[in-house]
Amino acid sequence: MQRRDFLKMAAAAVPAGLVTSSTAVYAVAVEPTWIQVWSHRLAIPRLPAALSGLSVVQLSDIHRSDIVSGPFVREAVERVLALQPELVVLTGDFISGDTDCFRLVADELALLAQVAPVFASMGNHDYDHWYRPVAPRLPHGAQLLGEEFARVGIELLVDRGRVVAPRGDAGELEVLGLDDFWHRGFDPTAAFRSLPGTGDAGRARIVLGHNPDAYTAIQDQRFELALFGHTHGGQISLPLFGAPYVPCEDPRFMSGLVDTGRHLVYTNRGLGYNRRVRFGVRPEITHFTLLPA
Ligand SMILES: [Fe+2]
């Protein structure tokens, strides 16, 4: 190769290299902690008029660990408090691996329980469970997490429902927490049976899950809104190409809001991460304003 040709090639490669390295820096150093608040106004059948405008905030997939830090979780909590939530829901994957993080994340979320009722559901990482047919490495994860959450006023719902009155006597709705879809104990029938007055004239019902593939197991049940996480929206989403990998079999539920015709289903893109990289899928806080349908 002539020296002149080499210099031309090198001159062309420098901008390409700059773009590549800037993108990598952005994906590792900027986007993983650049929180985005998604706001949705949802019309909910059976929601009492007295609960019109109810402010509900969802966090999911915090994955507290040595790479998802306490200050980052506390920043997210401050952002949630600024939304003046009347109900907070947390949809699984609170830790990645280290069970000491159950205590840490409970302490970091404790402020939320001082301003609103807070309910949580289990994620596969809370059982240290990566794949359905394999036994979880942390089978007592629900007990450990439930105890830490109870200590700070957060209620973990494992295939169990609760009647909630977020504005005192003004009106009620139901919150139902599913066990993780991959856990052997997953029993949605028991979860729905735990609620009184399950007829069509009953209260508006919000399901908290983790893996949106659980929708197949509950789609014949009566509820108005199901909230999931788990997918992280793929964590990397490339322009024109989308997310190369999303851990969810039903492509409808990769991220965001879906109206299935019978139910509203929302998949949160997650706050934390297992590997510190995000591109095109910023950490999410979801703010729902519920209105009577
Ligand atoms: Fe997750």
The two three-digit tokens of residue 237, written as one number: 């989403």
Residue 248 near residue 231, CB atoms below 8 Å: yes
Cα-to-centroid distance, 68 and ligand 1 (Å):
12
Sequence-ordered strand ranges (E) for 105-171: 118-121, 155-156, 160-164
pLDDT in tens, the chain (293 residues): 565 664 455 555 556 676 789 999 999 999 999 999 999 999 999 999 999 999 999 999 999 999 999 999 999 999 999 999 999 999 999 999 899 999 999 999 999 999 999 999 999 999 998 877 788 899 999 999 999 999 999 999 999 999 999 999 889 999 999 999 999 899 999 999 998 765 666 899 999 999 999 999 999 999 999 999 999 999 999 999 999 999 999 999 999 999 999 999 999 999 999 899 999 999 999 999 999 99
Cα-to-centroid distance, 125 and ligand 1 (Å):
7
By CB neighbour count within 10 A (0-12 exposed, 13-18 middle, 19+ buried), where does 17 fall?
exposed
Cα-to-centroid distance, 181 and ligand 1 (Å):
13
DSSP 280: S
Look at the pTM and tell me if it is higher than 0.75: yes
Residues with Cβ–ion distance below 5 A, ligand 1? 61, 93
Cα-to-centroid distance, 256 and ligand 1 (Å):
15
Cα-to-centroid distance, 198 and ligand 1 (Å):
31
Q: What is the DSSP string of 213-262?
A: GGHHHHTTS--SEEEE-SSGGGSB-BTTTB-S--S-S-GGGSSEEEE-SS
